[in-house]
Chains A and B, each alone.
Chain A
């Protein structure tokens, strides 16, 4: 990008600066530390100059927004046209209460829904199964059958509001219930829009909410990708997730690399179904974390888009530019929040959200400042939503596209993220792909080591966390009442579930569950029968139990 003669001059001037100006100053004013590095341990130099990006080829490496390799953004006008979707992950207690929270958030300016399910639902259990005791509605909303889903979405027009569902093992079952509600609202299926997380691979080494063993779990993910490509053209069947990888303790490079390695596996497996890459790749979506280090995060988002575009073009020979798109949702980082002086978390979230916007995300969740203590209270979630609205409307950062492009540091770091991630992807390829890497414990070990290292850095005070290992106070100030889930929630949910079991057409339920068993035995795509079963009010637990009986259950590979 730079004239060679000018670069030589620059190099000389830089060397002179390093030999004279810098030591003169540092002699009297030493630097704060000997080594500076990002959260991921990438060394940070004192100063970046054109020398650090001398190989950058503008058209090849950056290009224009809306054009490959999409480093500068997916859309031609980015936030000048439409702001990112403000999508707050929420769900607690019963379907009624979460429905109220959804309506509150939409009234306050949220632009898309995002459902948090409780742990029994996530694990494919009904609220009345033995493993569910004490857990119903605690960490999300309980949805055991279509009735719960009807209440959850009551009064929400599914042709106008898009919904993201954080559900993996039982993604097919929850999407089936969503489709059934859409049918009841007379919304044409091609108009249903939203996302099922449905990224079962990362469960084995990051989020660890696994039901089935890796091979059938991957089959379930791919069933959905295939079904949506054919029948739900506006649905994102999968959100390939780095967020949980990061929250489990990885650094930014590992988050990026392991997520794309998962992405590669999904593309390969879907191709095996006989679909062409350009038939489905445009609906693959991604999900990343926004951690503390602003520039590293921005570089990660930019590198992610470029790297995915390159993988789709070079490895999978995609022709349609939309197949090269990496559409992403970002969530600010839960694990950076402190229980100490919790109001400070609002500030952390604001910086993380800023990084996500400067990184060009399509959709954003901002965490609530009380999340190290409990599920978000209404007051805290409002502040979190307002944070996005302030960035969008007051800060001015949404008015021009990719404003940090051309920063010597950000471009150098973007290159570094891409190179380091690519090395990991090569290592995973050499192990034989993502499933062998999971089975050998490679990914789990990498993440556990990073998590331990990060914790030790905090304890040795090499890494300052304000309010935690520095600037501590005796009494923490919590300006709000924390959200508690009362015990009657579980009782109400159980009563409703039992009523549904009594009143439904039992013969129809049995017929659909038998058909599902047969389909699973024959390795068919299970989605059509799961939709029929959901419509007959078969419960989540009943459907999952049928599949458990065919696929078996995952036994955790324990790596400390």
Chain B
């Protein structure tokens, strides 16, 4: 791979905020995006919003995928989005997945989470979504 090719790769961090440990989905998403040619960093479990934003900054990512099934999304997602803005990461594409009730989705979109994917979403849908919406397009 040439340096240029490497630089043009979409860089994604898949993050698990919250205390829950359901990482099956997050790992599958990480692997599917990697198989689709992206550079993927998986944070591991129980990341605070501060840690997630720090990773995004350090790794210079284009995209953040948040996965949560604990029910704490209405607390942790707004904090994450606030911190991203504070650090000037306004153009990073953020999407989310997990067990997130339909009725919460409008509020999450309002704070800048571009899309929320529920259980059963094919990984191909995610790959297309990221490719289409990443600030670094291929």
Contact = CB atoms under 8 A, between A and B. Distances in A.
A125 B70 CA distance: 15
Which of B71, B72, B75, B119: most chain A Cβ within 10 A? B71
A452 B26 CA distance: 11
Contacts of B120: 338-340, 372, 465, 468
Interface string A329-341: 0000001001110
B101 to A, nearest CB: 6
B27 interface: yes
A469 to B, nearest CB: 8
B124 A135 contact: no
B19 interface: yes
B72 A134 contact: yes
Interface string B37-63: 000101111101000000000000000
Interface in A534-560: 556, 558, 560
Size class of A's contact patch? 35 or more
Contacts of A123: 19, 46
Interface of A: 119-120, 122-123, 125, 131-135, 138-139, 207-209, 247-249, 335, 338-340, 372-374, 448, 451-452, 455, 458-459, 465, 468-469, 482, 484-485, 556, 558, 560
Contacts of A138: 70-72
A335 B31 CA distance: 19
Contacts of A135: 18-19, 70-72, 75
Interface string B119-131: 1101110000000
Contacts of B28: 451-452, 455
Contacts of A335: 24
The 7 closest A-B pairs by CB, nearest first: A134-B75, A138-B71, A119-B19, A134-B72, A208-B21, A339-B119, A558-B44
A495 B12 CA distance: 41
A138 B19 CA distance: 11
Given A451-B27, A452-B28, 9 more contacts: A372-B99, A373-B99, A448-B31, A451-B24, A451-B28, A452-B27, A459-B122, A556-B45, A560-B27
Interface of B: 18-21, 23-24, 27-28, 30-31, 34, 40, 42-46, 48, 69-72, 74-76, 99, 101, 118-120, 122-124
A459 B123 contact: yes
A481 to B, nearest CB: 11
A202 to B, nearest CB: 11
B118 A339 contact: yes
Contact of B21 (A207, A249, A482, A558): A207
A247 B43 CA distance: 21
A145 to B, nearest CB: 19
A374 B76 contact: no
Given A338-B120, A339-B119, A139 B31 contact: no
Contacts of B118: 339
Contacts of B30: 560
B20 A119 contact: yes
Nearest to A248: B24
A247 B22 CA distance: 9
Given A338-B119, A340-B120, A119 B18 contact: yes
Contacts of A132: 19
A139 to B, nearest CB: 5
A560 B45 contact: no
B42 A560 contact: yes
A516 B72 CA distance: 33
Which of B43, B45, B70, B118: most chain A Cβ within 10 A? B70
B44 A133 contact: no
A484 B27 contact: no
Contact of A560 (B31, B69, B99): B31
24 contacts: A119-B19, A120-B19, A123-B46, A131-B19, A135-B19, A138-B70, A208-B23, A208-B45, A249-B24, A335-B24, A340-B120, A448-B31, A451-B24, A451-B27, A455-B123, A458-B122, A459-B122, A465-B120, A469-B122, A482-B101, A558-B42, A558-B44, A560-B30, A560-B40
